[in-house]
Amino acid sequence: MLVSLMMSPSMAASLEMFAPETDDPWLAEGEYQEVSIATGAGLPISRAPAVASVITADEIEAMGATDIDTVLETVPGLHLARSTQGDTPLYVIRGINLGFNPQVLMLINGVPITSVYTGNRGSVWGDLPVQHVARIEVIRGPGSALYGADAFAGVINVITKTATEIGGSEVGLKVGSFDTQDAWFMHGGTWGAAQVATFLRVGRTDGHGRTVDADAQTGWDSVLVGAPVSLAPGPVNHGRQLIDGHVDLSLDAWRLRMAYRERDRLGAGAGVASALDPTGKSMSQHVSADLSYERAQVAPDLDVKVQASVMHYKELSNLTLFPAGFQGFYGDPFQDGLIGNPAKWERNVRLGATMTYAGWTDHRVVVGLGADHQSLYKATDRKNFNSDFSRIGLGSVTDVVDVAEALTFIRPHARTSKHLYLQDEWRMAKDWTLTSGLRHDQTSDFGTSVNPRLALVWDATYNVTTKLLYGSAYRAPSFVELYSQNNPVVEGNPDLKPEKIRTLEAAITWQPDGRWLLSGNVFHYEMRNLIRQIDRRYQNIGRQNGHGLEIEASYRASSRWQLSGNYSLQRSVDLASDHDAANAPQHQIYARADWRWSSDWSAHAQLNWVSERPREAGDDRDPLAGYETVDLTVRKLTGPQGWGMALSVRNVFDADVREPTPYDRSAMQPFVSIPNDYPQAGRSVSLQATYRF
């Protein structure tokens, strides 16, 4: 059996386990660092019925994080990979790196932000700012018993700051490498009887522009007759412009949140067809609102929460899939390249309610029900090529035309889901708690899914807590997997079934004294019905099993020094080939040192080490080499008022960091599109100034 040791930065905020007594019998004495996504209500992290991490706003500032991705790469068992298409982040949890990464559910304030087209956070992502984030909660392992579809490998919940947490106004400016510029304004206060929190951020960057040595067009140049036209070697296209806005209004039991996120002129990365596209740009717009009513004690021992949300999401792209001179398969060169301008519009509407009853001795029962409607209600396609890659006209810009709905890359589709779940937290004895849950989902396009969970938590001693966990989850097929059409590379399959996973975990937390906090877990999972491309068609054909260990630790050497870190080990096997699952590291180490040398100044250093990553079965390339990066941050701390400063250097030693590219050699394509993998950012420097008033 594999064993693993892991230490997480989230443990640093939980060094003191002995807090004042509380009247709530569900809170173990002294445990005050809470996580809410494990049960839907706040519980001490050591006693939550899940393997969880919490990263606070203070930790985010200390590590010099520039966006949510640089925060998440510090979580044990989570590796931040990148898609070559638009540089979209892939959150690889416990070795699960499949497709567009739809196996990880992301929530903002408990509301999913899933794009039904790809099943992930959207293809035109850019980043997510962290200046207004109060904390980030992550559970590793299945969460479908509480959250339904897509809570498969893990769940990430981003919780924004309330008016009280902001406590005034803040303006900030950040400049850095790659012509990166960010400015923001935050305010938290009152408006009559209501509490108001607002946030606005505007930014831009040219991106790191690292060089791709060879691309898909390089491969075609080697097998097709004619002059070479590849743009490789050449830089990746990572520029983007960003706008984020957020408003949070609360009055008594009511709360209204509204958010706007726009990504414009977002570069195509290494190209959506793995051929460099220096002019390709995409735009996305995410508009959302949620209204909730939460009231404790609406009746004796009964709490109620009702929430409604709506999300509008659109993506518009202007892309050159292959450069000018591309010959296609018919010997007719495209004058201005193979051009495609797909666009799509989505709307998601959700309504849910939960009722919590604590009137039975030693039990707390939660009942939840709800429904959601996800629709891709419009799709358009403008291009200068036909579905078989033959050119329209001369293959020029002027030959780009709107195609009929029947010839677009996808037609409008909708999905309606209903769910009901029941959860019971049973205090079996003074030191034992059993959490059991069951959720039933009924979905219009693939039927039902039933997912249980069991979690037994034992407070073995006053400073040791153990857990035994079991859960299952499912991942709904995305619309691109179900309904893709007019694509010569892949077609959808409306008969797909959901992916399934079962996971068994054991965990322990130990605080030997007030300076140390240690935590570890072992896990085993089995996945089936994995969706993969076989002979150009998505099919349920894959199975994958994995096991491993994760360990976290933090040590407070003094009031000025603190050390924390984690180690994770996993091995996943593709059962069809009896080969290590591809493109995920088997070992990871994260370590951080925090030094506060005065009341106003602090310094922080962190190390991120990633082992080599195995290739897919049949891929004769050597395993992708691992890497280690070092980041440094020096901060002038900001009080309730006044100036704050931060200087950060990421990847101090300019390590050559690369993420694996797919093995896409086939009978149709006798080469790997990007053989030397996908280069990531080198050394970068940023300077930040904030003023609070």
For position 601, what pLDDT does the model report? 93
Residues 558-601 pLDDT 10s: 989 999 999 999 999 999 888 999 999 999 999 999 999 898 99
Query: Which residue range(s) make up the domain with 348?
Result: 5-692
Residues 612-650 pLDDT 10s: 999 998 899 999 999 999 999 999 987 788 999 999 999
Q: Greater confidence, 33 or 544? A: 544
What is the rounded distance in angstroms from the CA atom of residue 386 to the CA atom of residue 381?
Answer: 11
Say which range, 28-37, 194-203, 256-265, 363-372, has the weakest mean pLDDT. 28-37
For position 28, what pLDDT does the model report? 34
Q: Greater confidence, 27 or 431? A: 431
CATH code for position 388: 2.40.170.20
Q: What is the mean pLDDT of residues 187-199?
A: 96
For position 69, what pLDDT does the model report? 94
For position 510, what pLDDT does the model report? 95
Q: What is the mean pLDDT of residues 261-290?
A: 96
Q: What is the mean pLDDT of residues 20-25?
A: 35
Residues 381-415 pLDDT 10s: 999 998 888 899 999 999 999 998 888 999 999 99
Q: What is the mean pLDDT of residues 536-542?
A: 89
For position 29, what pLDDT does the model report? 32
Is 70 exceeded by the pLDDT of residue 37?
A: yes
The neighbour count for residue 279, using CB atoms within 10 Å, is 12
Is 60 exceeded by the pLDDT of residue 86?
A: yes
Q: What is the mean pLDDT of residues 295-318?
A: 96
Beta bridge partners of 353: 306, 369
For position 535, what pLDDT does the model report? 77
Cβ contacts of 617 within 8 Å, gap of 6 or more? 574, 576, 577, 579, 582
Q: What is the mean pLDDT of residues 486-513?
A: 92
Say which range, 39-48, 207-216, 400-409, has the weakest mean pLDDT. 39-48
Is 80 exceeded by the pLDDT of residue 111?
A: yes
For position 16, what pLDDT does the model report? 33
Q: Strand, coil or helix: what is 12?
A: helix
Tokens of 447: 């039927």
Q: What is the mean pLDDT of residues 423-450?
A: 94
Share of the chain above pLDDT 90, in %: 80
Number of structural domains the chain divides into: 1
Is 60 exceeded by the pLDDT of residue 516?
A: yes
Q: What is the mean pLDDT of residues 344-353?
A: 97
Q: Which residues of 41-75 are buried (b: 16+ CB within 10 A; e: fewer)?
A: bbbbbbbbbbbbbbbbbebbbbbbbbbbbbbbbbb
For position 41, what pLDDT does the model report? 67
Q: Compute φ and ψ for 58, nearest 5 degrees.
A: -60, -40
What is the rounded distance in angstroms from the CA atom of residue 661 to the CA atom of residue 676?
Answer: 8
Rounded to a whole number of angstroms, the distance between the first and last alpha carbons of the chain is 55
Quote the mean pLDDT of the chain: 91
For position 27, what pLDDT does the model report? 35
Cβ contacts of 540 within 8 Å, gap of 6 or more? 496, 497, 499, 529, 530, 531
Is 50 exceeded by the pLDDT of residue 124?
A: yes
Q: DSSP E strands: which ranges in 2-125?
A: 5-6, 34-35, 43-44, 51-56, 78-82, 89-93, 104-108, 111-112
What is the rounded distance in angstroms from the CA atom of residue 566 to the CA atom of residue 363?
Answer: 35
For position 39, what pLDDT does the model report? 66
